[in-house]
Amino acid sequence: MPRPSRHAPDTLSRAPHWSDQAACRETDDRSIFFPEDSPRGLVLLVTREAKAVCARCPVIEACLQAALERPEPNGVWGGLDKDERRALRRRQQRRRRRRNRTQGGGDGTAARAGTG
């Protein structure tokens, strides 16, 4: 975190972040969270191992939300691999579009209401 001013001491602690509590921080081999870098035959095994760490993580929801907001292109984040996150994003977008159509009077009433 940058200092608030050039006169502030360098010893200011940064604000707590959800990632401080992440289970993956305690993992010796963090490369398991990026199975794309693994040999082809090991990708599923490595992914399963990463998801097992995520399953016991106290901040799994915050991690997934952060990965969806970026959007994070690779790795296992929030217990989901890149393909699962892509599918989740698509489902969320479809729900939003449907909700917008129904809130907007999908039968055209909202469009007519604005005309005078």
Answer yes or no: are the C-beta atoms of 35 and 81 closer than 8 Å: yes
Beta bridge partners of 80: 77
Q: From CA 37, how far away is CA 44, in angstroms rounded?
A: 12
Q: Determine whether the annotation assigns residue 57 to a binding site.
A: yes
- What's the one-letter identity of residue 98? R
Residues 6+ apart with CB under 8 A from 21: 58, 59
Q: Determine whether the annotation assigns residue 54 to a binding site.
A: yes
Q: Determine whether the annotation assigns residue 63 to a binding site.
A: yes
State the virtual CA torsion across 38, 44, 45, 51 in degrees, nearest 10. 100
Answer yes or no: are the C-beta atoms of 36 and 77 closer than 8 Å: no
Which segments are annotated as binding site for [4Fe-4S] cluster? Answer: 24, 54, 57, 63
Which segments are annotated as binding site? Answer: 24, 54, 57, 63
